[in-house]
């Protein structure tokens, strides 16, 4: 056998080996060193379906569900798979045009990439759902996904319950690793936000294998990686929905707030704010439109005034002043001050509503008749307390007391976004008076709850709880307990079960004196109209001056005196005396609370109050303007030829002198966050009607 060209055999073998090595190297590269292919294969073939659990239900104190779930549908689109979709038919069903269709597809691609499903039309109505469902076969790439949405059986307590919103990229960044995805809904305000973690439950994920035509081929890995959805847990709140609805009805056509707390537990019975909105507006298909409308409304219906509205407490502060003075030993219950209609000791007189001699002969009557002179004097005595030698130190002691009463501090209730109110620090006065040169006379109106003192209705109601309880309080809250409570839930409800005793040192006799004075208020004093059979009510009216318009009408009360079961604070903006509007509102709510039903006279009273329109004129003017602008736009749309005439008419006849920004319901208090917030809200409105501002 000739060994012919043997060396070439070796070369061929070497070539074989080299080429096979090359293939092995590429296999190493593909299968072991790069991870992208695993991911891509999963993107290709594994269809991840998120199973949304039902959110938790919120019950009121009688076990009525005030926040429930119902089913709605989202139309989802996967842009890479819409080839062959009957666009015209789809547009016809949804009532959009082709340009809009393409725009939405583009948005979906930008938002969520071409290969992932995005929401095309959220929360479609039943009718559209029915029409879509029967022709879904025409729309490859589209599918309908069930989504539980919130429902509000009582259409009330909007600001307390809050609303759900679609999460944005910022939210996702902040809550990375908590299982949120683009397109999810999460609680944005109110209890929905505060208890988001409890209410949301646990999302389930089901994985399916799909083929190249996007057809489901069965469970991925026999469902090994699937997780079951766990429903959100229910909340049992202290709210009384009947009282809440009554309060909301009474606040109709007004701007203001009602807060009622059970002093024994700190559970909030009522937290109404006005103007408000029907919470169902922010679910369903019209959600976006309604939200825009609400956020542009100058009366700010989305604002929860019970925790974010900051008002000078006015005379409702006086009982606190009395307690501080008694505890400091500055006055005794029998201390009197001769008032003849005003307090003259500080230059500019502080007016008092009562002129007759003897209305301030002792503490009880001074509280009953709300004597401004008396409490101006008491406040000065507290600040100028000889024990501290310096009004600044005396003032700081007073401030300590006030903070103990919950004024000027965050109460840490279970609604997010609570405001602190304001008990000014000495630094502010030092700045304004050019150093520590100010004295008790400069700040004397603090003694009647004015000056820079600001408090939220919740804080005012909470201070009433302290007086009612004679020194202690529980942090006001809504949620008493959580379904299947575990040890980890103490972060939510644990803090509401701690008894706070910041003012234990004030003697019971001091409290008794003040309570008797407040009882007198309701018997023969400023609020003698407030009467409920068989209940001893302790009350205090307040009429707070503010720079923006008519006085705010305030009223605080607790009842019964011996065994307090409710403490209430009512604020009606720009409504005049406390006794005129705020007091009857509180009275009706308390009557309903104690008697469960209202007497015939009271029912008539409810109608009378709820029909009273106390919206300040500038805001009405704003609404009027909004309507005319809308009208103008519509007219331009309908008939462009006739429009100029109409426009001229409108421009000349409009007596616009009001600055839409002059929002009389809000006292500008120098709180920067509030101002910033306000500007944000005002911006779109400024853009809309820049004209009226020029003249």
Partner 1 sequence: MSRSYSKSVSKGVDWLTVVLYTALVCIGILCIFMVEYNPATFTPSSFFQGTTNYSKQILFTGICIVVATFIILSDSKLYPAFANLMYVFGIILMLSVFVIGKNINGSKSWIPLGGGFNLQPAELCKIFTALALAKFLSQLNMDFSKLQSQVIAGVITLLPALISILQNETGLALVYMSFFIVMYREGLPGIILIIGFSFGALVVATLVVEKNTLAVILTLIAGLLVFVFRRQIFVRKRWNVLVLITSVWFVCVGIQRFAVPYIFNNVFECYQSQRIYSAVGKDYDCSQNKHALKSEAAGKSPGKPDDYNVRQSKIAIGSGGFLGKGFLKGTQTRGKYVPEQHTDFIFTSLGEAFGFVGSFIFLAIYFLLLFRIVLIAERQRSAFSRVYAYSVASILFFHIVVNVCMTVGLFPVIGIPLPLVSYGGSSLLTFTILIFILIRLDADRQMVLR
By the criterion CB under 8 A, which residues form the site for partner 1?
1, 4-6, 8-9, 12-13, 15-16, 19-20, 22-24, 26-28, 30-32, 34, 36-38, 40-42, 44-46, 209-212, 217-218, 220-221
Q: How far is the CB of 34 from partner 1 (least distance, A)?
A: 6
Contacts of 374 (CB under 8 A, 6+ apart): 336, 337, 339, 360, 366
Q: How far is the CB of 80 from partner 1 (least distance, A)?
A: 13
Residue 485 has a CB neighbour count (10 Å cut-off) of: 15
Q: How far is the CB of 225 from partner 1 (least distance, A)?
A: 13
Nearer to partner 1 by C-beta: 15 or 603? 15
β strands within 36-117, DSSP E: 46-51, 58-59, 65-77
Whose structure tokens read 């109106």?
A: 445
CA-to-CA distance for 473 and 469, rounded, in angstroms?
Answer: 7
Q: How far is the CB of 109 from partner 1 (least distance, A)?
A: 18
Q: How far is the CB of 43 from partner 1 (least distance, A)?
A: 9
Contacts of 311 (CB under 8 A, 6+ apart): 454, 455, 456, 457, 460, 544, 546, 552, 554, 571, 573, 667
Which has the closest alpha carbon to 273: 242, 238, 301?
301
Kindly report the backbone phi and psi dihedral angles of residue 559, in degrees, each rounded to the nearest multiple of 5, phi listed first: -160, 155
Peptide bond into 433 cis (omega under 30): no
Q: How far is the CB of 33 from partner 1 (least distance, A)?
A: 10
Nearer to partner 1 by C-beta: 42 or 668? 42
Which stretch of DSSP H or E encloses residue 26?
helix 6-28
Nearer to partner 1 by C-beta: 38 or 676? 38
Q: Please tell me the number of Cα atoms within 13 Å of 366 on its side-chain side.
A: 30
Give the single-character DSSP code of 5. S
**Are 424 and 431 within 8 A, CB to CB?**
no
Contacts of 559 (CB under 8 A, 6+ apart): 532, 535, 536, 537, 538, 565, 566, 590, 594
Nearer to partner 1 by C-beta: 206 or 550? 206
Q: How far is the CB of 83 from partner 1 (least distance, A)?
A: 11
Nearer to partner 1 by C-beta: 34 or 509? 34
Nearer to partner 1 by C-beta: 24 or 642? 24
Q: How far is the CB of 183 from partner 1 (least distance, A)?
A: 25
Helix-helix angle 318-328:508-523, to 10 degrees: 150
Nearer to partner 1 by C-beta: 26 or 332? 26
Nearer to partner 1 by C-beta: 30 or 130? 30
Nearer to partner 1 by C-beta: 210 or 550? 210
Q: b/e for 508-532, b at 16 or more Cβ within 10 A?
A: eebbebbbbbbbbbbbebbbeebeb
Q: How far is the CB of 175 from partner 1 (least distance, A)?
A: 30
**Are 568 and 243 within 8 A, CB to CB?**
no
């Amino acid at each position: 056998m000739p060994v012919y060209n043997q060396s070439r055999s070796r070369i061929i073998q070497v070539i074989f080996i080299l080429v096979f090595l090359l293939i092995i190297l590429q296999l190493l590269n593909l299968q072991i060193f790069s991870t992208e292919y695993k991911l891509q294969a999963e993107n290709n073939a594994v269809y991840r379906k998120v199973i949304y659990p039902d959110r938790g239900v919120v019950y009121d104190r009688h076990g009525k569900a005030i926040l429930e779930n119902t089913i709605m549908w989202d139309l989802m689109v996967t842009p890479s798979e819409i080839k062959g979709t009957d666009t015209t038919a789809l547009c016809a069903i949804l009532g959009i045009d082709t340009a809009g269709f393409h725009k939405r597809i583009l948005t979906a691609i930008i938002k969520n990439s071409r290969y992932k499903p995005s929401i095309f039309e959220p929360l479609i109505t039943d009718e559209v759902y029915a029409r879509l469902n029967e022709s879904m076969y025409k729309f490859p790439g589209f599918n309908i996904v069930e989504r539980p949405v919130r429902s509000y059986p009582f259409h009330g307590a909007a600001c307390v319950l809050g609303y759900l919103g679609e999460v944005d990229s910022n939210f996702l960044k902040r809550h990375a690793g908590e299982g949120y995805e683009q397109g999810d809904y999460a609680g944005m305000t109110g209890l929905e936000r505060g208890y988001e973690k409890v209410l949301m439950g646990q999302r389930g994920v089901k994985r399916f294998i799909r083929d190249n035509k996007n057809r489901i081929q069965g469970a991925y890995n026999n469902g090994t990686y699937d997780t079951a959805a766990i429903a959100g847990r229910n909340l049992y709140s202290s709210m009384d929905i009947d009282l809440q609805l009554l309060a909301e009805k009474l606040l109709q056509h007004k701007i203001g707030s009602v807060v009622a707390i059970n002093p024994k537990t700190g559970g909030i019975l009522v937290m109404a704010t006005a103007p408000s909105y029907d919470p169902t507006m922010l679910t369903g298909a019209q959600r976006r439109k309604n939200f825009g409308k609400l956020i542009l409304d100058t009366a700010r219906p989305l604002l929860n005034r019970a925790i974010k509205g900051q008002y000078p407490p006015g005379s409702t502060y006086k009982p606190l002043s009395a307690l501080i003075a008694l505890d400091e030993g500055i006055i005794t219950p029998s201390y009197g001050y001769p008032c003849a209609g005003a307090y003259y000791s500080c230059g500019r007189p502080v007016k008092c509503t009562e002129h007759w001699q003897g209305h301030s002969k002792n503490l009880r009557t001074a509280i009953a008749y709300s004597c401004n002179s008396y409490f101006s004097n008491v406040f000065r005595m507290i600040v100028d307390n000889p024990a501290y030698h310096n009004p600044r130190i005396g003032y700081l002691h007073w401030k300590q007391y006030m903070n103990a009463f919950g004024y000027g501090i965050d109460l840490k209730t279970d609604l997010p976004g609570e405001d602190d109110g304001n008990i000014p620090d000495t630094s502010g006065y030092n700045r304004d008076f050019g150093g520590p040169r100010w004295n008790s006379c400069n700040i004397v109106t603090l003694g009647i709850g004015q000056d820079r003192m600001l408090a939220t209705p919740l804080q005012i109601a909470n201070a009433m709880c302290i007086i009612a309880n004679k020194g202690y309080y529980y942090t006001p809250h809504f949620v008493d307990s959580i379904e299947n409570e575990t040890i980890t839930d103490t972060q939510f409800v644990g803090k509401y079960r701690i008894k706070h005793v910041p003012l234990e040192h004030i003697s019971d006799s001091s409290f008794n004196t003040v309570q008797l004075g407040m009882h007198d208020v309701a018997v023969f004093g400023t609020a003698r109209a407030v009467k409920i059979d068989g209940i001893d009510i302790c009350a205090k009216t307040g009429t707070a001056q503010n720079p923006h318009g008519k006085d705010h009408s305030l009223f605080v009360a607790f009842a019964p005196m011996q065994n307090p079961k409710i403490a209430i604070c009512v604020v009606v903006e720009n409504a005049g005396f406390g006794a005129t509007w705020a007091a009857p509102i509180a009275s009706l709510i308390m009557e309903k609370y104690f008697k469960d039903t209202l007497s015939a006279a009271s029912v008539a009273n409810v109608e009378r109050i709820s029909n009273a329109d106390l919206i300040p004129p500038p805001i009405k003017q704003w609404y009027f303007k909004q309507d005319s602008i809308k009208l103008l736009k519509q007219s331009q749309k309908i008939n462009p030829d006739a429009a100029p005439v109409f426009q001229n008419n409108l421009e000349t006849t409009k007596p616009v002198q009001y600055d839409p920004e002059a929002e009389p319901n809000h006292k500008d208090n120098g709180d920067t966050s509030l101002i910033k917030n306000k500007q944000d809200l005002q911006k779109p409105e400024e853009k809309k009607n820049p004209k009226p501002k020029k003249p």
